[in-house]
Amino acid sequence: TVNSADVPQSQLEKAGILNKTKIADNGKKLRKNWAQSWTVLHGGILTFYKDPKSTPGGYVTKTNQIVPEFTVELKGATVLWASKDKSSKKNVLELKTRHGSDYLIQYDTDTIIYDWHKIIQDTIKHLDHE
Ligand code: I3S
């Protein structure tokens, strides 16, 4: 089998819709605020964009289309299936950065969340070996 560290980073790219909430910032616990995000993995960085539907009136503006809500550096991060006490939702991943920021990532469709779990894990392994 191919070691995931051997996968070129150019293949570690993905985009799609996920539900996410940030639950800690610099080790400080935050109140959950679940929202859908257009999510992009590129160059070892996971970027969550703001949901245009979440703006008043639901208008897509230049700003909310372009401005990321969170950018997450995956180098040194860990990803695992969240324990039941973290959320009542199904298919929840917990992503912890090396700077002490934690995110929950969720999607009801198994295949979609499994694919994200795999590519985030493969990316973290790849970055470990750089
Ligand atoms: O960890 P919690 O406090 O049970 O998380 C829930 C809250 O964030 C809740 O918001 P309010 O505190 O405004 O009621 C959300 O609506 C829930 O979705 C959160 O729980 P889940 O189990 O869905 O992550």
Ligand 1 pocket: which of 18, 32, 88 to mutate (most atoms within 8 A of CB): 32
Average pLDDT, the chain: 89
pLDDT value at residue 50: 83
d(CA 32, CA 14): 25
Identify whether the C-beta of residue 79 lies closer than 8 Å to the C-beta of residue 95: yes
* b/e per residue 60-69 (b: at least 16 CB within 10 A): eeeebeeebb
Q: Give the distance (Å) from ligand 1 centre to CA of residue 57.
A: 24
Instruction: Collect all residues with Cβ–Cβ distance below 8 Å to 118 and sequence separation of at least 6.
Output: none
pLDDT value at residue 5: 62
Q: Per-residue pLDDT averaged across 30-56, rounded?
A: 87
Q: Give the distance (Å) from ligand 1 centre to CA of residue 2.
A: 40
pLDDT value at residue 6: 72
Residue nearest to atom 24 of ligand 1 (CA): 87
The larger pLDDT score, comparing residue 66 to residue 74, is at 74
ipTM: 0.90
The residue with tokens 């999607």 is: 107
d(CA 31, CA 82): 17
Residues with CB under 6 A from ligand 1: 32, 34, 87-89
Cα–Cα separations (whole angstroms), residue 59 to 55, 63, 65, 75: 6, 11, 10, 35
Q: Per-residue pLDDT averaged across 54-70, rounded?
A: 66
Residue nearest to atom 14 of ligand 1 (CA): 32
Statement: the pTM of the whole predicted model exceeds 0.90? no
pLDDT value at residue 11: 81
